Amino acid sequence: MLTRRIIACLDVNAGRVVKGVQFENLRDAGDPAEMASAHSASGADEIVLLDISAAHQGRAILLDSVRRTAAELFIPFTVGGGIRTLEDAQSVFSAGADKISINSAALAHPPLITEVAGRFGSQAVVVAIDAKSCDGLSRWKTFTHGGRISTGRDAIEWAREAESRGAGEILLTSMDRDGTGLGFDCDLTRAVSDSVRIPVIASGGAGGAHHFVDVFRDGHADAALAASIFHYGFSRLVDLKEQLNSEGIPVRWPC
- Give me Rg for the CA atoms of the chain: 16
Instruction: Give the CATH class of 5-246.
Output: alpha beta
Q: Between the CA of residue 38 and those of 11, 42, 85, 114, 237, what are the distances in Å?
A: 15, 6, 31, 34, 10
pLDDT on residue 17: 82
Tell me the C-alpha distance between 37 and 193, whole Å: 30
* Element (DSSP H or E) covering residue 228: helix 228-232
The residue extents of the domains of the chain are 5-246
Predicted TM-score of the model (pTM): 0.92
State the catalytic residue, choosing from 31, 130, 185, 214: 130
End-to-end CA distance of the chain: 19
pLDDT on residue 23: 47
Tell me the C-alpha distance between 202 and 219, whole Å: 8
Tell me the C-alpha distance between 70 and 49, whole Å: 10
178 noted as active-site residue: no
11 noted as active-site residue: yes
Per DSSP bridges, beta strands 140-144 and 149-154 are: antiparallel
The string of pLDDT tens digits covering residues 167-216 is 999 999 999 998 888 999 999 999 999 999 999 999 999 999 999 999 99
Tell me the C-alpha distance between 170 and 56, whole Å: 21
Torsion of Cα atoms, 65 then 123 then 52 then 161, to 10°? 160
pLDDT on residue 27: 58
Q: Does the structure show a pLDDT above 80 at 56?
A: no
Q: Are 100 and 65 in contact (CB under 8 A)?
A: no
Mean pLDDT calculated for residue range 86-99: 97
CA neighbor of 220 nearest in space, from 192, 190, 245, 196 = 190
